[in-house]
């Protein structure tokens, strides 16, 4: 079973860049999208329905902003929209689908790059999502929490850790949160298979960063410990060029 997560930075823009053709060729069983930046009525759903996907859409209240979605060929038993927290839910940040044997979340963590107010919001979100996830895995122990975390965990995850040490997304407090999160029962699946540097999932549009591979690894498939033996592969797909992010994919044994 192939599961993909992809911050598309605007689904309508991604579709003009060949996203649908890429999706058909890649053929994941489940794909979580972040930063869809569109209402469901603003896309042609038949594009995805004709590929066999059930569509679950969770846009932000503010038009053209944020939002997450899940496309899945396996019909979920239950879909949970949001986390019952108005500030986060108004921004369309968390969507969960429960299947037989496991649950999958598409998550878009806040960025703090626009200033102190949003950085404070980000820290509050991190505290709250930690508590929420810890409560959730007591009920749903087989959980994959995937998406754009907007944090590089370790120096290996960013092209220049020294010059970025004071940058939002690589701040000591954010990295400490990742330490806590990955010490609480969640596995960074990519690092199960690949300990090497220079693997990134986001590149600035400036100064040819992508062509020079000057990037950040901020997108993750985090899976709970009980799923560890089920995970057979975890990779980045940097050749997909529909966004400033690239997709990430895991393969797990079918349930």
Tell me which long-range contacts 163-166 makes (C-beta under 8 A, separation of at least 24): none
CB 28 within 8 A of CB 249: yes
Token pair 């869809």 is found at 36
Is there a catalytic annotation at residue 127?
A: no
Reference 61, options 94, 91, 105; nearest CA is: 91
Task: Quote the strand ranges of the chain, DSSP E.
Answer: 2-7, 30-34, 54-58, 68-72, 78-81, 94-99, 102-108, 143-148, 186-188, 202-203, 215-216, 219-224, 231-236, 248-252
CB 3 within 8 A of CB 254: no
Pick the catalytic residue from 148, 157, 188, 219. 148
- CA 1 centroid distance within chain: 18
CB 250 within 8 A of CB 234: yes
What tokens does 12 get? 């309508």
b/e per residue 91-110 (b: at least 16 CB within 10 A): bbbbbbbbbeebbbbbbbbb
Q: Which residues are catalytic, by number? A: 148
């Amino acid at each position: 079973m192939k599961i993909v997560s992809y911050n598309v930075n605007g689904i309508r823009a991604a579709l003009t860049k060949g996203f649908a053709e890429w999706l058909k060729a890649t053929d994941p069983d489940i794909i979580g999208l972040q930063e869809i930046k569109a209402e469901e009525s603003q896309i042609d759903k038949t594009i995805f329905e004709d590929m066999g996907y059930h569509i679950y859409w969770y846009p932000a209240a503010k038009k053209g902003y944020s939002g997450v979605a899940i496309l899945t060929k396996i019909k979920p038993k239950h879909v949970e929209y949001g986390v019952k927290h108005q500030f986060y839910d108004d921004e369309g940040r968390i969507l969960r689908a429960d299947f037989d044997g496991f649950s999958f979340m598409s998550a878009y963590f806040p960025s703090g790059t626009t200033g102190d107010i949003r950085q404070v919001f980000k820290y509050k979100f991190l505290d709250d999502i930690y508590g929420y996830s810890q409560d959730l895995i007591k009920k749903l122990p087989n959980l994959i929490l995937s998406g754009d975390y907007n944090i590089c965990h370790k120096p290996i995850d960013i092209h220049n850790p020294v010059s970025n040490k004071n940058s939002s997304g690589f701040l000591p407090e954010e990295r400490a949160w990742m330490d806590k999160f990955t010490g609480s029962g969640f596995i960074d699946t990519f690092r199960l298979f690949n300990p090497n540097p220079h693997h990134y999932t986001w590149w600035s549009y400036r100064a040819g960063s992508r062509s020079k591979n000057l990037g950040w690894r901020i997108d993750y498939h985090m899976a709970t410990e009980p799923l560890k033996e089920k995970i057979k592969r975890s990779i980045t797909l940097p050749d997909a060029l529909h966004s400033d992010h690239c997709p990430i994919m895991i393969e797990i044994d079918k349930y």
